[in-house]
Structure 1
Amino acid sequence: MKWLVLGLMVVIGLSGCGRSGHTATSASSTAPTSKPKSPWLTSRVPTFYVHGFQGSANSTNTLIQHAEQTARAHKVLVATVSPSGQVTLSGSWAAKTRNPIIQVVFQNNLAQYDQQSAWLAKVITAVKAKQNFATYNIVAHSAGCVASVNLLMTKQASDFPKINKLVTIAGPFDGVVGEDDVANQNSFLSSGQPKYVHAAYQLLAGKRTNFPHNVHLLNIIGNLDDGTNSDSLVTNVSARSIKPLLRGTNVNYTEKVFHGKAAQHSQLHENAAVAMAVDRYLWHR
């Protein structure tokens, strides 16, 4: 009898363990699985990529391709501006496209800053007529940086979209080496202003108070580390002079400096680390 009772107790115990294990397995197998959240935003705000002097689509192709591959952005339109200022849009922009990109190409790539600013305003207006939007971003290289800032300092129509984020890469805001600037000549005074003021700075300083408040700005600077404190064409002082220009506007200013041969003026827009910095600034959560 004793062995019979012990046997029954063992059987009942094992049966209970089996049921308990089965219940736990069933619960775990039916638990809902959550999909990992993408680190990249899904935004409908368009981003305009603008090249500089002597630039072309090649100047922004690499940056755009990186954004498409990394941040799941999509180039939807190419806005080509003729020498007479006529804007031609090619491509298609579906209403729900994620992180849409518009590539801007000036056929006259030697036009002055104020002319490029007027053309860029026409591009934004033409794109808005095709696909309405209230805010936009700009990614600009070299002279395109000055043209973009000048645009933002120029009064536009009341229904003109508002800037959301601005990225400037190698912006010659106070001179270009070999034209009106010399490496290691300029510096910042105790007031924060550059010691020598050149044409671009004068253009922008005259209407700096028109710049919108609370803009998010990423300023990317190149330093070859060869003793010139420049990217070969734009000194670090010239690139940094955008900050004193925007004093009093509550700009949300972020600065990133890249070093070495890959930080040369024209190499900056081919630099994968620069492209990643741009993508993260615009679209990373």
Structure 2
Amino acid sequence: MRKLGFIKWLFLGLVLVVGLGGCGKKQSQSTAASSQQAKKVLSPYVTSERPTFYVHGFQGSAKSTNTLIAHAEKTAHAHKVIVATVSTSGTVTLDGTWSAKTRNPIIQVVFKNNLAQYDQQSTWLAAVITAVKAQHPFKSYNIVAHSAGCVASVNLLMTKQASDFPKIHKLVTIAGPFDGVVGEDDVANQNSVLADGQPKYLHAAYELLVAKRTNFPKGVQLLNIVGNLDDGSHSDSLVTNVSARSIKYLLRGRQVDYTEKDFHGKQAQHSRLHENPQVALAVDNYIWHR
């Protein structure tokens, strides 16, 4: 009897050990799953369906934004889904497919007439946004613009659109000639900023925007990228630092969340800025980083 009792208790002990082992294994698997899920959540870049439009500048083309877009695809898990080409007559052609739930979609904008005035490019950009929205509805969007594309983008945001037109979320301006271009209507080291922040000389582009500044939507997040060759010109060769920074005074009172980043040296030259990997990283982090 004692032997049978001993065997019974030994059997129960084994069952208990095996059961606890199983619970431990399940708990370990559960912990591993939770850890794996946490890693996904902690990705440094967001997963968003909000589109970002990349806009080139005067005399620009797809090449002007190719490097920035490629960097965004590699670093921020973005995806170029559409190339929107605007013909010289203003016809918009969309090439590509924007699949549902594509992460951080990008639309590359290309103007066939890359010598058009700012207001004309603004009209075309609005047509692009409208055409993309008709194909794939969205309520808000971002813009990354270079050079004259910055002025066209800001002018678009100051121009009244249809009530169902999408809302701007974030805007990145790279080397924006808001108050003149060196060699055209501006001269290096000629302009300056007055005590109240206003540029001393107001050129044609600035006057265009001043007339409509109160139409700029409130609460926009803006990253303004400024290039300085550090050669004494206080410019990126084509846009003076005063011209590029003049957007801040222009948008005073519009509750803009303004951030400025300066880049220096040879890689801060006007056209090299959109090829500069540090600029690309700054753009990616501003648009998509958590």
Shift of 1:30: 3.5
Which residue in 1 is equivalent to 2:289?
284
Q: Does 1:82 find its partner at 2:87?
A: yes
Question: Helix, strand or coil for the counterpart of 2:31?
Answer: coil
Instruction: In structure 2, give the amino acid aligned to 1:47.
Output: T
Report matched runs for 1:1-285 at 5 Å: 26=25, 29-33=28-32, 34-35=35-36, 36=39, 37=41, 38-285=43-290
Query: How far apart in 1 are the matches of 2:153 and 2:211?
Result: 15
Q: Which amino acid aligns with 1:74?
A: H
Question: Which segments of 5 or more consecutive residues in structure 2 lack a partner in the other structure?
Answer: 1-16
Instruction: Map Cα deviations across residues 167-222 of structure 1 (whole Å, 9 max, x no partner).
Output: 00000000000001011111111121100000110000000000000000000000
| 1:201-251 deviations in Å (ceiling 9; x for gaps) | 000000000000000000000000111110000000000000000001000
CA deviation digits over 1:129-188, x for unaligned, max 9?
Answer: 000000000000000000000000000000100000000000000000000101111111
SS at match of 2:224: strand
Q: TM-score with structure 1 length normalisation?
A: 0.91
Query: SS of the counterpart of 1:171?
Result: coil
Give me the identity figure in percent: 76
C-alpha distance in 2 between matches for 1:133 and 1:65: 23
Q: Deviations over 1:248-270 (max 9, x none)?
A: 10000000000000000000000
- 1:40-82 residue CA offsets vs partner (Å, 9 max, x unmatched): 1000000000000000000000000000000000000000000
* 1:277 aligned partner, one-letter code: A
| Counterpart residue type for residue 272 of structure 2 | Q
Measure, in 2, the Cα distance between the counterparts of 1:125 and 1:219.
25
Aligned residues: 268
70-79 vs 28-37, greater mean Cα deviation: 28-37
AA paired with 1:64? I
State the alpha-carbon separation in 2 of the partners of residues 28 and 209 from structure 1.
60
Q: Distance in 2 between matches of 1:208 and 1:246?
A: 7
Q: 2 CA distance for matches of 1:190 and 1:206? A: 22
Residue 119 of structure 2 aligns with an amino acid whose one-letter code is: D
Counterpart of 1:83, as a letter, is T
Unaligned ranges ≥5, structure 1: 1-18
Give the 4+ runs in structure 1 shifted more than 6 A.
none
Per the alignment, residue 12 of structure 2 pairs with: none
If the length of structure 2 is used for normalisation, what is the TM-score?
0.89
> Distance between the aligned counterparts of 2:232 and 2:151, measured in 1?
25
User: Residues 126 and 27 from structure 1, CA distance in 2 versus in 1: closer, same or farther, beyond 3 angstroms?
Assistant: closer
Secondary structure (helix, strand or coil) at the match of 1:145 reads helix
Question: 1: distance between equivalents of 2:201 and 2:28?
Answer: 71
The AA in structure 1 aligned to 2:265 is G
Shift of 1:27: 7.2
